[in-house]
Structure 1
């Protein structure tokens, strides 16, 4: 049996080919890095920054450009815009100030509610930089040198009362909210969730006594958007709902009655009972039917539990 061994020339050719391929890969990586600097590894922990943002910031700030469903300003392009917000501050400095001293500057498109100043009170400096680096990457490539140079003052954004809640109180508040409040109030802030009553997203920023008073005295003036209208038809039936649209011939409502809540009802005004002047009898009743009974059924302990839940939403 004869075994053939590769010649020295063949081995050299293979070696040269492998070396050429290796050099080509290095050059390609270098070229890609020059075109897209984001391929350079960051010295900061983006996974940790993402974790902090998701658990502490995302409830109020959307990071998808164009998403206006949150209470706080949209951050979709904050990495690109931060350096233009405050004269004398670069992008990471502005982001850090917004986190540690939110009252220092009111961002464009802010809903008006002030962000708490102690959102990162318990975080070490490294985690604050990780958060800044993560946010600075929204719509831009973070500048590691600027982030590393940030001066994080220990006496800023580290003080203030911390929210202390009892789990049993929150669980009770959630049960009461689901049973007696959620049929009208949504926890979301999107327009599709604002049919019967204001969404409670962000309401926890309000004073605790104001929240309690709003529950106990729900008959206070209701925004026109949520006032119910009572319509009596010629056949004696009654429809109650929020007016969506009205023309010379028809009236369109979203029913607020418990038995058909949410149903879209179109009424021919010719079928509506008329008053002495021949006008359709449309009576604004303000609060949805049955709300007074719901409020009256709440015990002091249930109200305390709901208030605790609302405060904890933030």
Structure 2
């Protein structure tokens, strides 16, 4: 049977996430995770489905890609049994490289294909280049996570619900946007949060916030399960710009690992830009181990 490329419908998201979850392996590469779909789903289920590209053969999913944003970034997962399969790699390479196939637009593009060594080799022969390195971070959860890094007096970390969604999103906005959090932004991000937490991946996720002694939210994290006995993902983690340098990032990261352990995850994982030494140091302080850096692949414009 030939390999078929398609864009799934919104009614297929849960089954795709289940297959993607089964592909997650301790000791394997940090590839596209159900949590990545969960975080993306704040745009809504139909938009999430439109951003996916699925490769299948005889009804069996072989690879799944997420077009993450408007900048030509494809985040990819390949069935672990097929990462070295030449026919699968050649089909993926052909579809990724040809704008007419509807995977990536013409011009500059980036592919995140960790562990797919045969595909990486084929893309490099077509003129793609290694892009900036990312550092995979891993924490084993075979034993309960000790509460050692919540060192700020009076700091508490809690799983939050809709009643505190505004505080969570305000910290996220500060950490990643850094622009004023006005009324329009407030309404928009609360809609995003509600859409995500009412969506098809909600049961896999938890939102955590760290509160200082004055009750202010100072750091946040999201965690996502791929099921019992499989690696869970921390996505995202951020500290409010007014409260950095106090250990809050390590505290909320450690709490995130603990929650994943309670959800049955075998390990906690996250990937940080290698150039972001602060992020790597934060996760290391929270008990994560840095693995050798891996690079995305870039097609120059």
| Both structures adopt the same fold (TM-score exceeding 0.5) | no
Q: Which has the higher contact order (CA 8 A, sep 6+)?
A: 2
Give the greater-gyration-radius structure (CA). Answer: 1
More strand as a share of residues: 2
More helix as a share of residues: 1
When the two structures are superposed, what TM-score results if normalisation uses the length of structure 2? 0.28
